[in-house]
């Protein structure tokens, strides 16, 4: 009787859920497929490998939840949407109205229109599928024609589901100077939450990204992996729910914490975009998908080489004058640096910026410190064949500033006259206020108009939102602050992007506080961490480049012992680690001896030769610094596969024959390559066959035995296609 009962349930389910239509969102290698049921419900049927022939899928039993699950329709799991309607009811039940699809070159656009069963309440699901990059963007717009405004309590960007035997979640956590640490854990029944509630500088502790491996632990080059990242610089929330049927549902979007949104009739609420990709070839392929997509569609000038920068911060901090800066410029130019960036401390007169306690908000050149102004420095920089860059932090204000005294109402403040909470001796301006947005825009606009030769802007942000409260927003709409402040920043960056298309912008926020696709859309690069210790950077850059491309990852050579950790490392090791991203420097060149200057000159010239491979090529992760063998290794391969780089790092002691064979990835097995060690600090090579010819097949399948024995040693190899003799 039990078997008959089960069959009856299945047959009944199928009969009442006959699927009339499929909505197929596809790239070259990925398919996301929704089905429209007989009762006009839209449910996810498949997300994974591309399905060329979907015949029979429309008859299969429902596995996943609705495309956009809402509260009040019998859904007992996590929901994407929670609404309090104008009559006080909290039930929303969305049904299919229509959908449209169009293909424009590489991008397929899909819109699915949903409507509540009883009310004039609408949700539109948007998808853009990038064929060559195998990336799908999803976002949502919400609008209604109810008589009064509605309250949105949850409003996710995406809801996707999977069915597997096990789920392993890789995510990225940290703190100041320890960003993007990699963690992998098996998901068990229940709900795993990744979120931030900090408002600004949100990626320092949890990054809005993940990788989910299906069935088994994540591998670099095998297995099914889904990678996701939210293009949003504010609070985010990802929920991963594994239910009693071993299904995993992922809901991603803005964190609804303290963010109830009041939506008037006739107005529209749009969520940020969720970026998704699927790989059946492991994590590394998912990373390549995201990197290729970002460089083409979500990074300013992603097709342009990034210059080599010398930033003044660790070389001078606040203690500088024009003489010291020009000395740094002299050394930078001699070594081949292309941009000199003046960091914090150049502004403020009544309240001079000689430390972090004063001056933020008063963006006049400090006349005592720089009596000849910025143009004197800019002209000197250009006379040395370099471009000039400058540091700003226009969202912030010190209480000890003219701005704070003139416009106290522009400052985010705790309500009911509570004492303001300082962090780094500063407060936040209220970017939900259009007047404040104009002020922040004008800070940078006036600077660039007055000094048109400024070619680079480092945009910093050094605190979170703790003084929650806006004098601009009404008492009822204080809960809009987290969202509107982030949107206010986006508005400013968009205006500057439009007006100053050729000016390079770096997103910095106490280091890695703005490492996200939201900021990256309007900037050229990000500062991955204030920790510049090369050993620490192996881990930071390893995690960062799982999601975000190396071309945007600023990595600097600094003094030894390192300012943060006091660790001593060779100049070669510092260069070899920094060359894995956008190479820069952050020291006083006159602190280097003659031998070090000569090494730096050669290393910088070398990077100029290889940077097209680093910045435009594909990254392959070979040996993880997290593993017990004490090595890390990566390689880059050009899109033509004719040129490659292999970078290997030893970070512990290895006994006499304790070495790994490093097997490269991404080469053409049919080609023959010349293997040449570069950036050497001695005549002896770390391999026995330097400058010899080796097939791509051998390099990938047999591998290279590299003689790195000591801690904090490294080697870089250039791999170049060569015709065999």
Enumerate the active-site residues.
Answer: 460, 530
How many other C-beta atoms are found inside a 10 Å radius of the C-beta of residue 624?
17
The residues pairing with 159 across neighbouring beta strands, listed in sequence order, are: 251
Going by C-alpha positions, the residue among 337, 184, 159 that lies closest to residue 237 is 159
Q: How far apart are CA 179 and CA 514, in angstroms?
A: 11
Q: What's the gap between Cα 186 and its chain centre?
A: 24
Is the Cβ–Cβ distance between 625 and 651 less than 8 Å? yes
Structure tokens at 115: 């409507």
Q: How far apart are CA 719 and CA 702, in angstroms?
A: 16
Q: How far apart are CA 607 and CA 578, in angstroms?
A: 10
Q: How far apart are CA 624 and CA 612, in angstroms?
A: 24
Q: How far apart are CA 44 and CA 32, in angstroms?
A: 8
Helical residues (DSSP H) of 566-708, grouped into ranges: 571-578, 594-616, 696-701
> Where do the DSSP E strands lie in 409-463?
427-428, 454-459
Is the Cβ–Cβ distance between 227 and 290 less than 8 Å? yes
DSSP code for 62: P
Write the burial class of residue 679 (CB in 10 Å: 0-12 exposed, 13-18 middle, 19+ buried).
Answer: buried
Write the burial class of residue 262 (CB in 10 Å: 0-12 exposed, 13-18 middle, 19+ buried).
Answer: middle
Is the Cβ–Cβ distance between 623 and 660 less than 8 Å? yes
- Strand 618-623 versus strand 631-637 pairing type: antiparallel
Measured over the CA atoms of residue 45, residue 46, residue 52 and residue 57, the dihedral's sign is negative
DSSP assignment of 421-479, as one string? PPBTTBEEB-TTSHHHHHHHHHHHHHHHHH-TTEEEEEE-------S---SSS-SGGGG
The full 3-state SS of 395-410, as one line of letters, equals CEECCCCHHHHHCHHH
């Amino acid at each position: 009787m039990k078997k008959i009962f089960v069959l009856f349930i299945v047959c009944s389910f199928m009969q009442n859920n006959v699927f009339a239509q499929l909505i197929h969102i596809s790239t070259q290698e990925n398919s996301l497929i929704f089905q429209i049921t007989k009762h006009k419900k839209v449910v996810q049927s498949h997300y994974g490998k591309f399905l060329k022939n979907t015949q029979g899928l429309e008859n299969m039993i429902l596995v996943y939840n609705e495309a956009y699950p809402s509260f009040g329709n019998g859904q007992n799991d996590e929901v994407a949407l929670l609404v309090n309607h104008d009559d006080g009811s909290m039930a929303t039940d969305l049904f299919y109205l229509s959908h449209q699809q169009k293909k424009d070159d590489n991008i397929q656009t899909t819109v699915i229109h949903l409507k509540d069963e009883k009310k004039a309440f609408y949700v539109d699901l948007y998808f853009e599928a990038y064929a060559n990059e195998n990336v799908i963007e999803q976002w949502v717009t919400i609008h209604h024609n109810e008589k009064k405004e509605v309250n949105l309590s949850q409003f996710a960007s995406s809801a996707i589901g999977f069915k597997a035997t096990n789920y392993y979640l890789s995510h990225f956590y940290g703190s100041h100077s320890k960003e993007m640490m990699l963690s992998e854990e098996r998901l068990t029944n229940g709900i795993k939450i990744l979120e931030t509630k900090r408002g600004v500088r949100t990626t320092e502790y949890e990054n809005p990204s993940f990788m989910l491996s299906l069935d088994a632990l994540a591998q670099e080059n095998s297995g099914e992996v889904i990678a996701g990242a939210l293009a949003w610089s504010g609070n985010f929330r990802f929920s991963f729910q594994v239910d009693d049927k071993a299904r995993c549902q992922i809901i991603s979007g803005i964190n609804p914490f303290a963010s109830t949104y009041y939506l008037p009739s006739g107005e529209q609420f749009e969520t940020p975009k969720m970026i998704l990709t699927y790989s059946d070839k492991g994590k590394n392929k998912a990373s390549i998908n995201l990197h290729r997509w970002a460089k083409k569609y979500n990074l300013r000038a992603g097709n342009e080489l990034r210059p080599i920068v010398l930033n003044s911060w660790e070389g001078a901090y606040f203690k500088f004058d024009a003489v010291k800066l020009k000395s740094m410029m002299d050394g930078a130019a001699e070594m081949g640096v292309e941009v000199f960036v003046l960091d914090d401390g150049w502004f403020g007169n009544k309240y001079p910026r000689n430390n972090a306690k004063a001056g933020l908000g008063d963006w006049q050149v400090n006349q005592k410190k720089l009596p000849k102004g910025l143009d004197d420095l800019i002209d000197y920089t250009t006379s040395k064949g370099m471009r000039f860059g400058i540091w700003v932090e226009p969202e912030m204000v010190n209480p000890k500033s003219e701005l704070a005294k003139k416009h106290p109402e522009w400052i985010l403040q705790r309500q009911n006259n509570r004492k303001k909470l300082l962090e780094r001796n500063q407060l936040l301006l209220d970017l939900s206020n259009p007047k404040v947005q104009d002020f922040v825009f004008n800070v940078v606009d006036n600077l660039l108009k007055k000094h048109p030769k400024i070619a680079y802007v480092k945009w910093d942000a050094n605190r979170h939102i703790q003084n929650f409260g806006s004098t601009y927003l009404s008492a009822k709409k204080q809960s809009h602050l987290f969202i509107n402040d982030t949107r206010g920043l986006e508005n400013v960056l968009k205006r500057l992007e439009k007006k100053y298309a050729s000016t390079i912008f770096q997103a910095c926020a106490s280091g890695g506080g703005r490492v996200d696709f939201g900021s990256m859309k309007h900037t050229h690069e990000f500062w991955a961490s204030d920790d510049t210790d090369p050993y620490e950077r192996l881990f930071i850059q390893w995690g960062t480049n799982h999601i975000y491309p190396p071309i945007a990852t600023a990595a600097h050579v600094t003094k030894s012992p390192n300012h943060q950790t006091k660790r001593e490392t060779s100049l070669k090791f510092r260069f070899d680690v920094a060359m894995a991203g956008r190479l820069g420097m952050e020291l006083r060149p006159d602190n280097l001896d003659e031998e070090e200057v000569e090494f730096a000159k050669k290393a910088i010239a070398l990077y100029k030769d290889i940077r097209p491979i680093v910045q435009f090529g594909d990254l392959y992760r070979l040996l993880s610094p997290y593993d017990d063998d004490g090595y890390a290794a990566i390689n880059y391969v050009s899109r033509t596969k004719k040129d490659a780089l292999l970078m290997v790092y030893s970070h512990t002691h290895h006994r006499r024959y304790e070495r790994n064979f490093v097997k490269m990835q991404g080469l053409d097995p049919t080609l023959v390559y010349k293997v040449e060690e570069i950036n050497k600090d001695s005549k002896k090579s770390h391999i026995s066959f330097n400058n010899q010819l080796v097939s791509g097949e051998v390099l990938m399948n047999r591998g290279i035995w590299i003689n790195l024995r000591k801690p904090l040693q490294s080697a870089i190899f250039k791999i170049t296609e060569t015709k065999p003799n």
